Structures are given as structure tokens and as C-alpha cells.
Amino acid sequence: MESVVWRSGGGAGPATLAWALIALPLLPVWVPFAVLLAAPPRVRRRLAVPAAAGLATAAVLAYCLATRTVTADIRGHTLGYVLDLPQSPLIIVGYLLATVGALLLGGDPVLRLLGALAGTGAVLCAVLWRMEFVSTWCALAAVASVVILGWARRQPEDSARLVGRPT
């Protein structure tokens, strides 16, 4: 989607909206609930806070996307997505609690590693984005994908032990 946004020179086209729908309201719901489903029973209760934060954040973001126009601007070597958001710092905190927080609280060492990568990556990408350096989020996504692949390819007995089932 971002390649289409780049080729169109930014703006408010369908690719920009599709990217925003996935990145903004979908991820803060998807990540904590995916972690909740993958988490061992003993840690599921503590995932209620990231899940609730994700639902609240997604509701605000979905409302903003439904009532405002999202645009993409080419800024140096990166894209900047613009959506007029009320209380932006609070939305950012809710988003990070839902996505990074859920991974860090998930109880699985690989998911905690993924959370640490995502948190570190968010800070690094924000700094590099402000410098209008090359877009780094895709590189972080590639590293995170390798971690998720390793997590998904674990042996069934590894997964059973993590959730407390007999092997």
C-alpha cells in the first residue's frame, strides 16, 4: 500500500485510507487480542488493560477516520500520515499500551522479545522520521516478522509447556 502512496505522491487516495485503516484502528485491537489468545491462562487477566486500551483507542481512531480526511505527505525520504486527532498524546499512549504493552505482558519470552523490538523500534523510527531519514518501519517489520515466524514454528511440545498443558 505504501508503494502506491509513494507513486501517487501522497495525498488522500484509497491507498492512504487503506493504510490508515490497518495501522490506526485495526492494530490496537488485533495485537492485544491475538496475544490474549496465545497467552497462557495464568497471564490472561493482566492482558485486560491492553485489550481495553486497544478497544478505546481504536474507537477514537475509527471515529476520526470516519469523520476526517487522512492524508499522506512525502517528507524527505519518508511518508508522514496526517489525521487531525484530539488528545494526540493520550491516543499515542493508548496505542502503545495496546500494541507494545500487550506483547510485553504476554508471558511468552518470544512475544516479550517482539514487544521489546516493537517498543525500541517505535522510538528509533520516531527519531529517524523526525530527521526525515529513510523510512525505517518496514525494516523493523521485517525483523518482527522473523521473530513471529520463529514463534509460530515452535515445536508443539514447546507451546504446550508454555500454556500449561501436558506434553
Q: Which residue has the cell 487480542?
A: 33
Task: Count other Cβ atoms within 10 Å, centred on residue 68.
Answer: 12
Four-CA torsion 133, 124, 108, 36, nearest 10 degrees? -80
Residues 152 and 154: their CA atoms lie apart, in Å, by 6
* Model pLDDT, residue 1: 85
Mean pLDDT of 143-148: 83
Instruction: Give how far Cα 148 sits from Cα of 31, 107, 121, 141, Å.
Output: 12, 15, 15, 10
How confident is the model at residue 161, as a pLDDT?
Answer: 55
Please give the full DSSP string across 38-69, using - where no structure is assigned: HS-GGGTGGGHHHHHHHHHHHHHHHHHHHHS-
pTM of the model: 0.78
* Alpha-carbon dihedral angle through residues 91, 94, 99, 104, given to the nearest 10 degrees: 140
* Domains of the chain, residue spans: 2-163
Q: CA 69 to CA 17: how far, in whole Å?
A: 8
Beta bridge partners of 74: 79
**Tens-digit pLDDT profile for residues 57-106:** 999 999 999 999 999 998 877 788 889 888 788 999 999 999 999 999 99
